[in-house]
Amino acid sequence: MGVAYYHIPLMDDATEDILTVFKEYCPKIDEMIKSGGRVLVHCALGISRSASLCVAYLMYRLGKSPNNCISNIHRPINPNKGFRKALDEYADILKINYRFCPA
């Protein structure tokens, strides 16, 4: 299996459209893993951007809430406010009955 490399130009800014990234890349990550590949997701610090994508992928794959998925990540993460909102919206898209952000 070869190497697939994706560069996603995304700033750690609450106004960035990370929801579009979730929709596009979670299925790609899933396909890579199902075909026996491995996936490395990273950003500058691994706290907000890459962590948010990893949480979104776990939601996609496991059908669980953002908080449940965050509890499966064994390092400190802190998605910014906009990314947390996007995780909440992604839960709605995936039909996960849970709200990450307080109403």
Tokens standing for residue 86 = 């996007």
34 Cβ neighbours under 8 A, 6+ residues apart: none
Rounded to whole angstroms, the Cα distance separating 16 from 19 reads 9
41 Cβ neighbours under 8 A, 6+ residues apart: 29, 50, 53, 54, 57
Tokens standing for residue 51 = 């962590």
Catalytic residue among 43, 54, 69, 101: 43
26 given a catalytic annotation:
no
Q: How many residues would you count in the chain?
A: 103
What positions carry a catalytic annotation?
Answer: 43
